[in-house]
Amino acid sequence: MAQTAPRKFAGGKLVIASHNPGKVREIGELLAPFGAEVVSVGDLGLDEPVEDGTTFIANAEIKALAAAKASGHVALADDSGLCVHALGGEPGVYSARWAGPDKDFSVAMQKVEEALVAADTDDRSAYFACALTLAWPDGHVESFEGQVHGTMTWPMRGEKGFGYDPTFVPDGYETTFAEMEPQQKHAMSHRANAFKKLVAACFAAD
């Protein structure tokens, strides 16, 4: 069976299915060259759906479809998280939940560090994963995933990132994501790697 070509984004309003200001800002910066009129679900007063998927792509599709159908516009959702090898891939899809109801990621980073200490291991390798789903109001979706590998560090360092960025040092670097300038992080991050696939498939010219 011939593979169907990915559906292209035709321009205009693009709803970012996230209430996380840092994530919305980062996605907006990555999409700036493509002329998309970016708005967030928060700007539109839309509620967050229940994320009960067991993979990053499943959760991204839940969020993107909910936003697209509620807004009537194409929507882009990101589901991302930190996967620590010595913790069996945790916190994984539950990365935001480790931050608690107040979404305090200093609490989440402390939990990861305590879990690594309790595991009594020298393996501090980890990776960030990001799934991106572009969804249309008719239910069509296009999904892509990217990763960036690195090492967990402690204590937290840097003020420029968000989430677990202050404790993650990407392979080949000595600075955490939170110590890097945004442009440097954007060039290598898990979200950037997923975006490269998304843009090539859905935004690039035919």
Contact 143, 163 (CB under 8 A): no
- The distance of Cα 179 from the centroid of its chain, to the nearest Å, equals 19
Residue of 79, 120, 171, 206 marked active site: 79
- d(CA 142, CA 201) in angstroms, rounded, equals 9
| Residue 30 phi, psi (nearest 5) | -70, -30
The candidate with the shortest Cα–Cα distance to 191, out of 173, 175, 168, is 168
Residue 105 exposure: Cα atoms within 13 Å on the Cβ side: 19
Instruction: Respond yes or no: is residue 43 known to be catalytic.
Output: no
Residues annotated catalytic, as ranges: 79
